[in-house]
Amino acid sequence: MILNRLQEADCKSGWLLDGFPRNLAQAEALGKALQDAGMKLDYVIEILLDREIAKKRIMGRRLCATDNNHPNNIFIDAIKPAEKDGKPVCRICDCDKLTARADDQDEGAIDKRHGIYYDTKTGTLAAVNYFRARVKIIDLDGTPGVKEVSQALLAKLA
């Protein structure tokens, strides 16, 4: 289980689980396993984002044909594609081949995933609430950009 991994040498000074647990059952199992092992969870970090904004951010992603690591998103001002001759181009390299991933445009699949995330009875928000009664929760507003959210997190950890 995940606990074995957390007890390896490179986790001695700390660890971070990203995207896990995803539901209440996983949260309960993790909470119990940590307790049984005498391990402490310091924080749960929750980045709060309106469901419609979250959906737009997924659907707005654009891939640059030159380099997939060039972030472009038509719904995020900070990384909006540039424009050249009235056409959207990569904001990093001016490449005019910006495409959307098919699964980013699958609204039904996104709604299903978000249905699990925003579910306060058994989903990811239920997992957060499970820990809310047990450890310090750091709630962050995910509406601003990555830089602002990072700064807010560092300020709350200090």
| Contact positions vs Zn ion (CB under 5 A) | 64, 66, 70, 90, 92-93, 95
Which is closer to Zn ion, CB of 29 or CB of 92? 92
Min separation Cβ 85 and Zn ion, Å: 17
- For 40: left if phi > 0, alpha if psi spans -120 to 50, otherwise beta; the answer is beta
Least Å from the CB of residue 28 to Zn ion: 44
Q: How far is the CB of 138 from Zn ion (least distance, A)?
A: 33
Q: Which residue, 23 or 70, has its beta carbon nearer to Zn ion? A: 70
The residue (of 6 and 92) whose beta carbon lies closer to Zn ion is: 92
Contact in structure between 100 and 61 (CB atoms under 8 Å): yes
Minimum CB–partner distance for residue 67 and Zn ion (Å): 5
3-state secondary structure (DSSP) of residue 51: helix
Closest CB to Zn ion among residues 59, 92: 92
The structure tokens listed for 132 are 């809310």
DSSP states of 57-113: HHHTEEEESS-TTS-EETT-GGG--EEETTEEE-TTT--S-EE--GGGG-HHHHHHH
